[in-house]
Structure 1
Amino acid sequence: ELGTLGFECTLEEVDLEDITEDQINTIKACTSEDPRTGNCPALERSAFDTSQCLQGIYEDLSAYRAELTNFSDQKLLATIDEMMKALRTGGSSAPQPAAGAGLTSFKERMRLCSVLHAFRIRTVTINRMMNYLTSPESSL
């Protein structure tokens, strides 16, 4: 937002960066890697690994949580922490919100704008996957 970053943070103004590209993430963990599907990954219940998908969602949230620690919106950080806590399967605990060090340079604020937009888009994917996971077996 204008008050937070000092400029209007619009999707048209930034190049999105996938900070989860080199690790397990929602897209990789929740869709088929079958090369026959091309650019449109397929979901098939018979080969679908729910725990792997949930782990991918958790890893996405963890990566974005780490990237957004300098963002002063503690409500956003706490929400991510709650989501991670709900997904946690092991004995590890969700990270606690860290006090933001503040963003000083314009370059840092532009990167934050990009990360926030990428996270917004990823949350749509996560929401759709969670809806898919909770849907009856018959609806695909």
Structure 2
Amino acid sequence: MPLTKLYVPAALLLLVLSCPLWHVGQSLPMMGKGPMTDSCVSHARTLLENITDALAQKDLFSAIDCPMQSVELNMATDTPSVCAPKGSTCTGTTKAEFDQKSCLENIGEDLLYYYTFLAAQPKGLLGLTVQLRTLMENCFPWSLSTDLASKQAPTDSPSTYDERLRLCKELKGFHVRTITINRVLGYMNSGEHTK
């Protein structure tokens, strides 16, 4: 009988440690419905590199001095302020907590906004659009509409000057926002936000 009493607590401990629910209780950075992975950080970094390369395309922005143009950001989200690390004083006030859920929702909305915009652009940006979709599918799956790809198709028609100018400004805004997203994903991946 005493032997049985020893085995039961050990068996329960083994069960608790091997239970999938245990993983939810650990203080691992969480991203939406799954754990934050190094691959999300890698996808975001690759996206940033692709945007940087796209901004350097001379043929895409011929007759436009893109580096001298203003930046157009998606102002419908609060990603920079919501995703500021706890203890941050960037906004003039010290941020006491990091709201991961709100931050991820804002990032997802940003990604959807830029995906919708880029999907309607010339096929020269198809690689960038594919990389953005890969990041969304793997790390922000709730941000994708299932029928979005069927509604937006890249065009082959030559762009007007105004369309290329808007593309330049939006890409510059996406570049700035992607830098923010990269920093936030790195912050969450490091686990600093849980301390």
- Report TM bin, short chain: 0.7 to 0.9
- Cα distance, 1:88 vs structure 2: 2.0
Q: Extract structure 1 runs of 4+ deviating beyond 6 A.
A: none
- Cα distance, 1:5 vs structure 2: 3.0
Larger Rg: 2
Structure 1 SS opposite 2:59? helix
Q: Give the structure 2 partner of residue 71 of structure 1.
A: 122
Q: Give the structure 1 partner of residue 140 of structure 2.
A: 87
Match 1:49 to one of 96, 99, 109 = 99
Matched, 1:5 2:61: yes
Contact 1:28 1:56 in 2 (8 A): no
Question: What per-residue deviation string (whole Å, max 9, x for no partner) do you get for residues 24-57 of structure 1?
Answer: 242143138xxxx56457554xx21112111111
Query: Structure 2 length normalisation: TM-score?
Result: 0.56
Give aligned pairs, total.
Answer: 131
Q: With CA pairs under 8 Å and 6+ residues apart, which has the higher RCO, 1 or 2?
A: 2
Letter in 1 for 2:59: G
Aligned identity (percent) is 26
Bigger share in helix: 2
Q: Give the structure 2 partner of residue 123 of structure 1.
A: 178
- Structure 2: gaps of 5 or more residues: 1-56
Query: Structure 1 length normalisation: TM-score?
Result: 0.75
- Structure 1: gaps of 5 or more residues: none
- Cα distance, 1:91 vs structure 2: 8.6
RMSD of Structure 2 on Structure 1 (CA): 3.0
- Cα distance, 1:60 vs structure 2: 0.7
